[in-house]
Amino acid sequence: MAQKAAKSLAARNTALLTRTHLITISIHTIYLVLHFLINRPRSLKPYILLGLPTLIIEYYLDRIGRPRYSEDGTSLKTAGEDLNATGLTEYMWDVLYWTQGCIVAVCIFNDRAWWLWVVVPIYSVYLAYTTVMGVKRGFAGMGGGGGAEGEGGEVPLSKTQAKREKRGDRMKRGRA
């Protein structure tokens, strides 16, 4: 059963990588044809500066996700990493697709469309902030319940307890 899962992962990774490589080749070819053959103001500096990291990312994803077969080519040695994994792999796909979209926008409009790429660092800062705040919130609850107590060492009331107390049904408040 495990071999079947590995074979399906290998097939899925191969299809995804093939499709990604074809799209990348097509987009970069169109950009370069428009740059060199049609006299429209396009600069190669932002193209190289912003396109090269995505080519490196694509190469890395190919290295970790490409299935490996035995010498005779019949049996599967490794299926490669799951390219649909969350976390850093998902972020790399986001950067890759966003840059491809920016290249298409530059082909359609002009070099000002490279400013769309500014979304990537902003998104990175947002992800880092939410991660740090999530970790901070997680560590806040590990202090032995120190943050959950009210004034005077009393445990705060739940909504139901607060409603009953407001109506006049007095309940005993717990002490920590």
Q: Which pLDDT value is given to residue 29?
A: 95
Q: Which pLDDT value is given to residue 6?
A: 86
Q: Which pLDDT value is given to residue 176?
A: 47
Q: Which pLDDT value is given to residue 43?
A: 80
d(CA 6, CA 80): 9
pTM: 0.68
Q: Which pLDDT value is given to residue 40?
A: 67
CA distances to 86, 134, 142, 168 from 130, in Å? 16, 6, 19, 42
DSSP H/E element including 105? helix 88-108
- Listed by start position, the domains of the chain span 2-132
SS3 154: strand
Per-residue pLDDT for the chain (176 aa), expressed as one digit of tens each?
568 888 899 899 999 999 999 999 999 999 999 888 886 667 888 999 989 999 999 999 999 999 998 888 778 888 889 999 988 899 899 999 999 999 999 988 888 888 988 888 898 899 889 888 888 887 877 665 545 555 555 677 788 888 888 887 655 555 54
